[in-house]
Structure 1
Amino acid sequence: MKQFVGKIDEECIDTAVEGARPADASPAQCCQWPGPSGGFAINGKFVSQRITGVQRVGYELATAFQRLFSENAEPPLLIPVNSRTDVILRKTKRVGRWFKGSLWEQLALPFAVGDRTLLSLCNMGPLFGRRQLVMMHDVAIYDLPGNYSWKYRLWYRFAFSILKRTAVHIVTVSEFSKMRIMERLGVDASRVSVIWNGVDHFEKIIPETAILSRLSLRNDGYVLAVGNLSLGKNLPRILAAMERLSDRPDWKFVVVGGRDVRVFSSQAKPNDNLSKNIIATGFISDGELKALYENAACFLFPSLYEGFGLPPLEAMSCGCPVIVSREASLPEVCGNAAMYCDAHSLDDIVDKVRQMMDDAALRETWRERGRAHARNFRWDRSARQLLDVLERELAGGVERLNETESAPSRV
């Protein structure tokens, strides 16, 4: 990824909260508003991880948020010493010499933040951070416990029980996730705000079309799906549907993502256990994924659980017709721009794919709807909404924050 060089976003004044900034502030001064005390800093733990899922959201939102500020006022991204060198933001600072991962986040990061307000955008943050906004993407740790080891479940449940009290505010990515957070963590609705993800990062990606010839794929001749270890991705039904549809030798089926050992044999190539028309790619680059989106006849995403559901929007932005389930956040995010299927019915999944694959005019209709819908999801809009939330929650200044810190509970 290349370095982003931004400028002051004069539109950010549109989301100002009355009283949060001086009434006569210019747009430039408006975008330099630092909040109480020392301003903001961004938790950059995600820079030391593979940039997928919540890490992608963290990167794109942090980048867009920095662009709201002038060069001298932009909040720094605080990162571990073992961070990736190919992920660069406009203002980045390495902190903590000895720690990595969760130890870095819990022990080194709080000291580096100082009196600034910390933005933790990837589910987790310092448990006892003095001033912190946390973005919780979902509560799958409660809703899908079978996804995770007992150690992982124990850690996140403990951490969430602390963060729901110590965080100044919680942000999430959909109304669905907000309702689940309220129910599972017992948090009042006033303490949770919704900020949708953007998808315009895909506009900057250059498609790597060599993957099409490598996998022997032709334009408009294959079904694309994304699946990983998560039970919520419904990968067994995706593969079962593809097996049933393999009676059409002119169709191919591509599954992108990590290999689930319960589905793919660890001793053999995936294609050894599946019909020859089903291709499992494993992890691929963003450029390769974009090329697959742009040339697929349709994208199949019958997920059982999504806090947001970014892949369908990525597909839409690339002009790929989308089939999704009616579960969790997907109707909220996809609106009327996707064909819906029953995630629990193999017959219905198969039927919807056949409808899409057999009708070129239908595919074109969904392509146009998807492109128009995806244009509504922009990271700069998400960043302005984040700043709006921060202003609303922090406009009371240090006195209000001190009252928050002294309260025994925020639930």
Structure 2
Amino acid sequence: MKRIAVNARFLCERVTGVQRYAIEVCQALIPRLAGQGIEVVLLAPKGKLLPLGGGAQVVQADRALHVYAWEQLVLPRMVRATGADLLWSPCNLGPLAVARQVVTIHDASIFAHPEWFDWRVALLYRLLLPRLARRARRVLTDSHASAHDLIRHGVVPPEKLRVVYSGVGFAPGRLPGVLARPLPEPYFLTVSSLEPRKNLRRLLAAWTRIHALGALPEHRLVIVGAPARVFSGGALGDSLSPKVITVGYVPDEELQRYYYWADAFLYPSLYEGFGLPPLEAMVFAKPTLVSDTPSLREVCGDAALYCNPLSVEDIVAKVLRLATDKALRARLSSMAPARAANFTWDRAAEAVAQILGEVLDAVTPAGPPR
């Protein structure tokens, strides 16, 4: 039986967009590949791991190391020990010592804006990613906009690059019972890790200006998301208006409750490889405001209202339009679920399985990855 190993570093990390991608695709991918006679084994660092369904076989390292050291030094030995024919690294980085590898690089933000990141992380990624992309058999990314950026910055050879869209796992029909309101006041919602590229400072400035104008006096701005340790600089100011509520990280069931009761969703991000939260909001038919950037245009299509993320004035104008234009709200709400339905984890897993299968057929059948 052919065997694919997965770089499961994500199982010991907090779940943000990259980890969610890996978890959701793996859960759909493992039974799909099993049906094709391909075994999947997840190789993980030593430590407490996130639970993963789908009949996953997980092998952990026998000693603890920093995840980056584990990935480069220990993971190649684990790949050889399991006799895997191919390695898939779904979370940007992978071991340079493994050439029979497919790696998913989600975006080019660390090349486009290294100032957003902790300098040590930026240096590591900028050194490793181009070398990894040259050695890997294929590189996957989340959108055509992201592919364009990876090529433009010289990270990935164009002939190796393939686009695989992410998916949305939320579905109102699967919600357990009636969801209680998370807070009594009406609110607009944003969901993101607290990092510079999410543009929360301008969103907060816009929200302050909206209330200074006397608009939306009853509404709160709710921010769901945890700080991201690999990024430099604070995302929020030292003091927040009482009209702003920060929730921090919440599990999926709680997150869906915030989506369900929101009056609208705001996402003026400066840079995205894909942009999953707007699609999650669209599952719940929420009128959605996003940045006018290539990847968000590609993903959200006509089902969102767009703003200039560099202009506080434009964010203010578009939030007020989203709040007051009933015809616009109705149109966006009606289009949103169908738009989100275009992106599923089953489709993502099918595309990943096809690419892994093609590479698996092309590599030398005898012996583990080199």
TM-score (structure 1 length as normaliser): 0.80
1:230, distance to aligned residue in structure 2 (A)? 2.4
Query: Is the CA contact (8 Å cut-off) linking 1:43 and 1:118 kept in structure 2?
Result: yes
Counterpart-to-counterpart distance in 2, 1:341 and 1:373: 19
1:41, distance to aligned residue in structure 2 (A)? 1.4
User: What is the alpha-carbon root mean square deviation over aligned residues?
Assistant: 2.5
Q: Secondary structure at the match of 2:223?
A: strand
Gaps of 5+ in 1: 1-33, 266-272, 406-411
Query: Are residue 49 (structure 1) and residue 13 (structure 2) matched?
Result: yes
In structure 1, the residue matched to 2:105 is 136
Q: How does 1:89-104 map to 2 (within 5 A)?
A: 89-100=54-65, 101-104=67-70
User: How many positions carry a matched residue from both structures?
Assistant: 356
Query: Are residue 375 (structure 1) and residue 341 (structure 2) matched?
Result: yes
In structure 2, the residue matched to 1:157 is 126
| Rg larger for | 1
- The 1:343–1:401 alpha-carbon spacing in structure 2 relative to 1, beyond 3 Å, is farther
Amino acid at match of 1:250: E
TM-score (structure 2 length as normaliser): 0.88
Percent of aligned pairs with the same amino acid: 36
The one-character-per-residue Cα deviations of 1:259-296 (angstroms, maximum 9, x if unpaired) are: 5746343xxxxxxx333222121222222221111111
In structure 1, the residue matched to 2:219 is 251
Query: Are residue 113 (structure 1) and residue 75 (structure 2) matched?
Result: no
Counterpart-to-counterpart distance in 1, 2:58 and 2:193: 33
Query: Are residue 263 (structure 1) and residue 231 (structure 2) matched?
Result: no
Query: Are residue 69 (structure 1) and residue 25 (structure 2) matched?
Result: no
1:207, distance to aligned residue in structure 2 (A)? 8.3
Query: Is the CA contact (8 Å cut-off) linking 1:199 and 1:310 kept in structure 2?
Result: yes
Amino acid at match of 2:236: V
Structure 1 stretches (4+) deviating beyond 6 angstroms?
Answer: 399-402
Query: Is the CA contact (8 Å cut-off) linking 2:104 and 2:140 kept in structure 1?
Result: yes
Amino acid at match of 2:44: I
- The 1:227–1:45 alpha-carbon spacing in structure 2 relative to 1, beyond 3 Å, is closer
Amino acid at match of 2:47: N
1:95, distance to aligned residue in structure 2 (A)? 2.6
**Alignment partner of 1:145 out of 82, 97, 114:** 114
Query: Is the CA contact (8 Å cut-off) linking 2:34 and 2:40 kept in structure 1?
Result: no
Q: Secondary structure at the match of 2:62?
A: coil
1:352, distance to aligned residue in structure 2 (A)? 1.2
Query: Are residue 395 (structure 1) and residue 361 (structure 2) matched?
Result: yes
Query: Are residue 278 (structure 1) and residue 248 (structure 2) matched?
Result: no
Q: Secondary structure at the match of 1:332?
A: helix
Q: Secondary structure at the match of 2:271?
A: coil
Q: Secondary structure at the match of 2:188?
A: strand
In structure 1, the residue matched to 2:154 is 185
1:357, distance to aligned residue in structure 2 (A)? 1.1
1:162, distance to aligned residue in structure 2 (A)? 1.9
Query: Is the CA contact (8 Å cut-off) linking 2:85 and 2:360 kept in structure 1?
Result: no
The one-character-per-residue Cα deviations of 1:227-282 (angstroms, maximum 9, x if unpaired) are: 444221111110011111222322221122235746343xxxxxxx3332221212
Query: Is the CA contact (8 Å cut-off) linking 1:41 and 1:75 kept in structure 2?
Result: yes
Query: Is the CA contact (8 Å cut-off) linking 1:124 and 1:136 kept in structure 2?
Result: yes
Q: How does 1:193-232 map to 2 (within 5 A)?
A: 193-201=162-170, 206=176, 209-210=179-180, 212-213=181-182, 215-217=183-185, 221-232=186-197
Q: Secondary structure at the match of 1:193?
A: strand
Q: How does 1:279-358 map to 2 (within 5 A)?
A: 279-358=245-324
